[in-house]
Amino acid sequence: MSLPYKISTLLYAFNSEGKVLLLLRKKEPNLGLWSPFGGKLKMEEGESPYMCACREAEEEIGIKLSPSDLHLTGIVSEHGYEGASHWLMFLFRIIPPIDRIPPANNEGEFAFFSRDELENLPLPQTDREMIWNLFWEHQWGFFSAHCHCCEGGKNIWTIEESIKDASALSLLEKQRLAVSRLAELRDKDNDKAVFQNPSGENEPVIDLNSHHYFMGEALRQAVKAAEMEEVPVGAVIVRKGKIIARAHNQVELLKDGTAHAEMLALTQAQAAVGDWRLTDCTLYVTKEPCPMCAGAMVNTRISTVVYGAPDPKYGAAGSALNILQFPSLNHRCSVISGVRLEECRALLKSFFLDKR
Binding site for Zn ion (CB under 5 A): 260, 290, 293
Closest CA relative to residue 284, chosen from 330, 341, 205, 348: 341
Backbone angles phi and psi of 271, in degrees to 5: -65, -40
Q: How far apart are CA 285 and CA 46, in angstroms?
A: 46
In one-letter notation, the amino acid at residue 76 is V
Rounded-to-integer distance, Cα 11 and Cα 120, Å: 21
**Separation CA 112–CA 100 (nearest Å):** 9
Instruction: Please enumerate in sequence order all residues whose Cβ is within 8 A of that of 108, keeping only pairs 6 or more positions apart, or say none.
Output: 23, 24, 25, 26, 27
Tell me the sheet residues that pair with 5.
86
The alpha helices in the chain, defined as continuous H runs, are: 49-56, 125-126, 132-138, 168-184, 210-227, 251-254, 261-273, 291-299, 341-355
- In this complex, which beta carbon is closest to Zn ion, that of residue 134 or of residue 290? 290
Nearest residue (CB) to Zn ion, 71 versus 260: 260
| Residue 159 β-bridge partners | 145
* From 203, 262, 342, 343, active-site residue: 262
- Strand locations in 270-316 (E): 281-287, 304-309
Of 296, 295, 306, nearest to 269 by C-alpha is 296
Exposure string for 219-239, b = 16+ CB within 10 A, e = fewer? bbbbbbbbeeebbbbbbbbbb
Q: Which is nearer to Zn ion, 147 or 347 (CB)?
A: 347
- Told to judge if 82 belongs to the known catalytic residues of this protein, a careful annotator would answer no
Min CB(292)–Zn ion separation in Å: 5
Greatest distance between any 2 Cα atoms in the chain: 84
CB-nearer residue toward Zn ion: 23 or 293:
293
Of 41 and 323, which CB lies nearer to Zn ion in the complex structure? 323
Q: Is the dihedral of CA 17, 41, 58, 206 positive or negative?
A: positive
CA-to-CA distance for 107 and 25, rounded, in angstroms? 6
Q: How many CB atoms lie within 10 A of CB 32?
A: 11
Catalytic positions, please? 262
